[in-house]
Amino acid sequence: MDKFIIKGGRRLSGEVEISGAKNSAVALIPAVILCDEPCILENVPEISDVSICFRTLTELGAVVRKLAPHRYSVDPTGIRKHCVPYEFARKMRASYYFLGALLGKYGKARVSMPGGCPLGDRPIDQHLKAFVALGAKRELSRGMIDLVAEELKGEKISFDVITVGATMNAILAAVRAKGTTVIKNVAKEPHIVDLANMLNKMGANIKGAGTDTIKITGVDYLRGIEYSVIPDQIEAGTFMVAAAATGGDVTIINVTPKHLESITEQLRKIGVNVEEYDSSVRVFVDGPLVKANVVTSPHPGFPTDMQPQVATLLTLADGTSRVEESIWDQRFGYVHELRRMGANISVGGKVAIIEGVEYLMGAPVKACDLRAGAALIIAGLAARGETEIEDIHHIERGYDCMEVKLRSLGAEIVKRPLFDELEIEPKKKAVNG
């Protein structure tokens, strides 16, 4: 119910540190279930999706302790339950990783159908295809997915579509299966490589993560480790766009520039300067922003999770841009809100056509999903006047202290709790004493 209030027009400058990757952390945390000993996770982003993951683990019987900021120990050895109830799963898409992890370790899992951002139809048929191929029986009743396997056995699996979630889940289920699993047509996102690296450090035998084919030979035991989550490429990309949209000069540290290549390439086409260093990028603008043609696609293509942010930048570029969304059916929910700020965008099916305008104007708007919310923050930072963003719980699912980081770069942004706006009713005088 809280809001962000932004006074736009401040040029961002300085240095900002990127947190651990949300879409990695939400898989790595359930993956610890597979381990036979306690583990320590480092560089964990402190966002609401991660806190739901930790609460779910605790609900199952694991012991989670915060050792320091962004550093947590997880002891999975006390897990006795195998069911993730609706109240946890409905809040987060990534709750489906508990299916793969619980099935892989205990041969059984019962997880409510997952929630998450409303981006259109989000089937999980490919996840189920992998579980069934490995030997699980599945049932769906009263919104719960039930998986049971006497023994999981390595198999050949080929996905019909490239999917991050099903690739991760197939890895989780196959890591301790008997024999060898070969998975073809897999996703290649950096977080898939991160999951494989963490499990391999525990003693798993996963080869080929980051390519089209992954080969997993099952192991009997996984040992406790300490592991650091990779930097969040989408958080980094969001700050890169925010720097560009405000005509700023920002150095973004704790990043892997290789993971940002498609974002960097796209921003350069728009006229943004990006300098790459070992673990940082500097983003600055010294000329006009120009129109572009953007098409989202699986890694190493331009990420769908950066589409709303870059489309927002293009509202301020010279000329007519075209943005095509090829992953999700409904990822233009933010367009309506940007129009209220003066953007000139029309949407037909999966394509948005953007006519650049000279400036955006602050307005009250609502975040309809996580990246839509990030796009509205960028719009508010660049706009003339004040922008008030409602429903920021979407943003807090995936961005670690975003407003604090933006303030350190010179932005005027505050979080206003809803209750500050409600007047306190004066106490009524008691009648008759």
Q: Which residues are catalytic?
A: 117
Instruction: For the CB of residue 168, give the shortest distance to ligand EPU in the complex, in Å.
Output: 7
Q: Which residues bind ligand EPU (CB under 6 A)?
A: 23, 26, 93-94, 117, 121-127, 161, 163-166, 187, 304-305, 327-328, 370-371, 398
Shortest CA distance to 365 belongs to which of 339, 344, 394, 398? 339
Spatial separation of the C-alpha atoms in residues 349 and 8, rounded to whole Å? 31
CB of residue 269 vs ligand EPU: minimum separation in angstroms?
Answer: 21
Closest distance between ligand EPU and the C-beta of residue 122, in Å? 5
Q: Classify the phi-psi angles of 62: left when phi > 0, otherwise alpha if psi is within -120 to 50, otherwise beta.
A: beta
Cβ nearer to ligand EPU, comparing 33 with 289: 33
> Distance from first CA to last CA of the chain, Å, rounded?
38
Nearer to ligand EPU, 10 or 191 (CB): 191
Residue placing its CB nearer to ligand EPU in the complex, 45 or 165: 165
Minimal CB distance residue for ligand EPU: 165
Between residues 156 and 223, which has the closer beta carbon with respect to ligand EPU?
A: 156
Helix (H, G, I), strand (E, B) or coil at 190: helix
Q: Residue 429, CB half-sphere, CA atoms under 13 Å: how many?
A: 3
Taking the complex as a whole, how short is the minimal distance between the CB of residue 272 and ligand EPU, in angstroms?
22
User: Quick one: 289 or 302, whose CB is closer to ligand EPU?
Assistant: 302
For residue 294, give the 3-state DSSP assignment: strand
Coil, strand or helix at 327:
coil
* Closest C-alpha among 137, 73, 77 to residue 103: 137
Q: Which is nearer to ligand EPU, 251 or 304 (CB)?
A: 304
**In the block, residue with structure tokens 């940002």:** 260
214 token code pair = 């992954």
Q: DSSP per residue over 34-98, as a string?
A: G-SS-EEEES---SHHHHHHHHHHHHHT-EEEEEETTEEEEEGGG----EE-HHHHTT-GGGGHH
Q: Provide DSSP, 116-136.
A: ----S----HHHHHHHHHTT-
CA-based nearest residue to 35, from 222, 245, 308: 222
SS3 call for 178? strand
Cα(189)–Cα(238) distance, integer angstroms: 17
Residue whose CB is less far from ligand EPU, 121 or 220 = 121
Which two tokens mark 100? 């793969």
CB of 264 to ligand EPU, least distance (A): 18
Residue type, 7: K
